[in-house]
Structure 1
């Protein structure tokens, strides 16, 4: 990027704009050797603006020049170009044959744009690349024990009626937020200890605890929701939350997914028709049929479920759905630890 002193730039804006239009390279305008503004192609600025605006809560901090004084009003010919000076006097737009070819922005504003555009680009892939990458991820096997192994017993409300996976906060933070007893969390109480004590005393206290742990970057929770002793939400909401609820007596098995506080479940497809609903029941899923409409937020799960079906690891529909979740999100539950009771748990906080 070439540097041009302000005086020289004012004397030959047309030449600088022609250079930017021909090469696509930026020109930095300096005042006493210090960068003040940058002339860049309109296409490059459009790309920066496109990505920068996708970073939340950034617009109010955008650097803007002060109100300009003595700047020309109306179209200002600059050789083959027309210059339009913005109301702030610092930003300028250059047009040739009714096409915007270059923009002048302050160095501070351009730095701001580039920083936010860089942040947004980190998670961006073109549609074809994103589809190929999603296909690759979907074909990867489950991490560790996965979670499909628990589907059969969960259907029968064992060992838990509620399975929750949370991305973001630690297992201890989530347990306390759900209303777990802080002393039990600090003591590292184990599920088998509660089960053994219950067997000795003839109680079913193991059904009134919150089991929790961390697997593959997710916090998982397992509990019974018989008496609503534990909370079902976090404030503020986590990055992602997946909830699976089993009610065997009514034959209701629910799945919900919340991302950044936004519920993702509407628009499942049932019997070839689109039916807008506020929840998704696992009994609606029929292997071989795409459960979610292409435009639904959960449509990305269709590919993972199809690959789980082709893998042939399970025949039960709920186990297949669970394997689809394994492949889509990397969910896992520690099989040996849960079946042996060697997982952490806590009773409801004492009131």
Structure 2
């Protein structure tokens, strides 16, 4: 990329625009030896804007005050120059076709950074089809989680399932307010169940079951009396929560990354900018539940694969299978159903 002094170019961009149009290469304008702006092909800027627009958040740098160019099209050889309202950005047109754009270095750096982020998740239609076929051949990790969907829907064996990436299971259990002695003793779920049957107690609905599968810590518990705190400091790298309230037919899903809620759908104008859950009854097989620009749009592909696999007909089980495919979630089926998983009661207060 060639450097040209701004003072040499500002009066007449004809030669520079012609070079960009012919070669597609950028030209950097400098002032006092410092890069200030870049002249680039309009097609290249369009591509940057396309991908950068797929990344949410961030404030686009504003161009500083320009040279005070006159209003209206400014002939520059075979081109017309249109100076934007900020006086710094410019658009160059030949025969009613945009051929080049001038943008500040700061704005271009911002666009390129967001474009790199967006491209990491981009696949061409051909690659996406091949990836979809590859995923279709992959089974769940371990037992997966779809197997528990039917009983979870009836609040059995737990009303809440939580999956956390990062912290160890015992650390999470302690942070949630589980009894340290129960954790140290290695209390098992079947022991609590047997004691309930023997002594007429009801501790099974008040314990926190926990374990680790495929790099995730999982928790299972009933949330009838807010016995557990449900908070971590610092938050987990990733956290998925599934909660069932059968009496109200409310089945919720939420996903956080580093404590930041990943809103599952775009916000309409005037609506609240944060929502804390997605209701699974909103999911209809055959329809993409998350808009393309939503943070959770990547789940659409995995849900479609689950639908094509035909392992389940129940909507919630299908959604669970989509989650297990997307995140590699798993729960030990035999261990949970037989009660051979660790658990702890709430810490004594």
Name the TM-score, length of structure 1 as normaliser.
Answer: 0.71
Task: After TM superposition, list the pairs within 5 Å mapping 1:1-351 onto structure 2.
Answer: 1-10=1-10, 12-59=12-59, 62-148=60-146, 150=148, 160-166=157-163, 168=165, 170=167, 171=169, 175=173, 179-181=176-178, 183=180, 187=184, 189-192=186-189, 195=192, 198=195, 203-225=201-223, 229-230=227-228, 241=240, 243=242, 245=244, 256-259=252-255, 260-262=261-263, 279-280=280-281, 292-297=285-290, 300=301, 301-309=303-311, 325-335=323-333, 337-338=335-336, 341=339, 343-351=341-349
- CA contact 1:212–1:222 (8 Å) conserved in 2: yes
Deviation string, structure 1 residues 23-66 (Cα, Å, up to 9, x no partner): 2111111234332211001121122122223333212xx32232
In structure 2, relative to structure 1, the CA distance for the partners of 1:336 and 1:46 (3 Å cut) is same
In structure 2, relative to structure 1, the CA distance for the partners of 1:98 and 1:138 (3 Å cut) is same
Partners in 2 of 1:84 and 1:12 — Cα distance?
13
Unaligned runs of 5+ residues in structure 2 are 256-260, 266-277, 291-298
Aligned residues: 320
Secondary structure of 1:82's partner? strand
Match of 2:274 in 1: none
Deviation at 1:193, TM superposition (A): 8.5
Unaligned runs of 5+ residues in structure 1 are 265-276, 282-289
Partners in 1 of 2:84 and 2:57 — Cα distance?
24
- CA contact 2:177–2:229 (8 Å) conserved in 1: no
Secondary structure of 2:135's partner? helix
- CA contact 2:135–2:305 (8 Å) conserved in 1: no
Deviation at 1:184, TM superposition (A): 5.5
In structure 2, relative to structure 1, the CA distance for the partners of 1:232 and 1:253 (3 Å cut) is farther
Match of 2:258 in 1: none
Deviation at 1:197, TM superposition (A): 8.4
Q: Calculate the aligned-residue CA RMSD, in Å.
A: 4.2
In structure 2, relative to structure 1, the CA distance for the partners of 1:103 and 1:206 (3 Å cut) is same
